[in-house]
Amino acid sequence: MQRPEPKNNQIKLDPKRYIVSKTDKHGIIEYGNDYFVEISGYTEPELLGQPHSIIRHPDMPKIVFKLMWDRINKAQNIMAVVKNLAKDGSYYWVVTEFQPKVDPITNDIISHTAFRKAAPQKAVDVMEPIYQKLLEIEKEGGMEASEKYLRGFLEEKGVTYDEFVNDLVGNKGLFKIFFTAMKKLFS
Ligand SMILES: Cc1cc2nc3c(=O)[nH]c(=O)nc-3n(C[C@H](O)[C@H](O)[C@H](O)COP(=O)(O)O)c2cc1C
């Protein structure tokens, strides 16, 4: 499928609504809630069966998705601030968390579900320049160089990736309550 040309047009997300999608263990979309479909700009049939990278925004550095897959492949959660691309080229910022479904007998991952909310403006303001820097480094020296930069950045701040993002998003408050409730609803 042809990737849309990114436009400098931000979609205003409803802070009260959540965006949910479910994939197989390889990231192929199997389900999206109404808001996911609506915001994506695609129809449901256009989304189902497609790789989740259908909404990948070119401003996102690869290292973020590497961190994400490293975690979710181990059936662990990760919180990430993500810029996504709609079909018409517009963008929207979300905070996302994951819930794996694991086969209780084989321990194999059956599916991944992502729960998303509108990202707080403060989180976007902090992450956007970091992502720009990571992308710049990635373009020059590859993903390994951007990973090294990110590790150095966090080390300098004396925090882990999780501490940094949780602090930024305020995971102890409303987000925590929201994600916990969503996970219960969809498990
Ligand atoms: C449940 C689930 C949800 C995902 N949600 C997004 C998303 O909202 N945006 C995105 O760009 N990638 C998302 N991904 C990651 C994509 O699968 C993919 O790794 C990413 O878009 C990078 O694409 P690329 O590896 O082709 O560059 C998700 C993956 C899973 C398993």
* Three-state SS sequence of 16-78: CCCEEEEEECCCEEEEECHHHHHHHCCCHHHHCCCEHHHHECCCCCHHHHHHHHHHHCCCCCC
- pLDDT on residue 173: 62
User: Does 12 reside within a domain?
Assistant: no
Could you tell me the CA-to-CA distances from 184 to 19, 99, 113, 115 in Å, in that order? 15, 10, 12, 11
Residue to probe by mutation, ligand 1, list 65, 66, 111, most atoms within 8 Å of CB: 65
Domain limits for position 125: 19-186
User: Does 94 reside within a domain?
Assistant: yes
User: Does 66 reside within a domain?
Assistant: yes
- pLDDT on residue 174: 64
User: Does 139 reside within a domain?
Assistant: yes
- pLDDT on residue 38: 98
- What are the residue ranges in the chain where pLDDT is below 50? none
User: Does 7 reside within a domain?
Assistant: no
Q: What is the pTM of this model?
A: 0.95
CATH number at residue 109: 3.30.450.20
Q: What residue owns the CA closest to ligand 1's atom 31?
A: 27
Q: At CA 155, angle to CA 154 and CA 160, rounded to 5?
A: 55
User: Does 13 reside within a domain?
Assistant: no
- pLDDT on residue 106: 95
And the tokens for 181?
A: 């409730």
User: Does 26 reside within a domain?
Assistant: yes
Strand partners, 128: none
Q: What residue owns the CA closest to ligand 1's atom 19?
A: 65
Q: What residue owns the CA closest to ligand 1's atom 23?
A: 53
Residue to probe by mutation, ligand 1, list 35, 56, 95, most atoms within 8 Å of CB: 56
Q: What does the pLDDT look like over 116-146, one tens digit per residue?
A: 999 999 999 999 999 999 999 999 999 999 9
User: Does 170 reside within a domain?
Assistant: yes
- pLDDT on residue 187: 65
Q: How many domains is the chain partitioned into structurally?
A: 1
- pLDDT on residue 1: 66
Stated length of the chain: 187
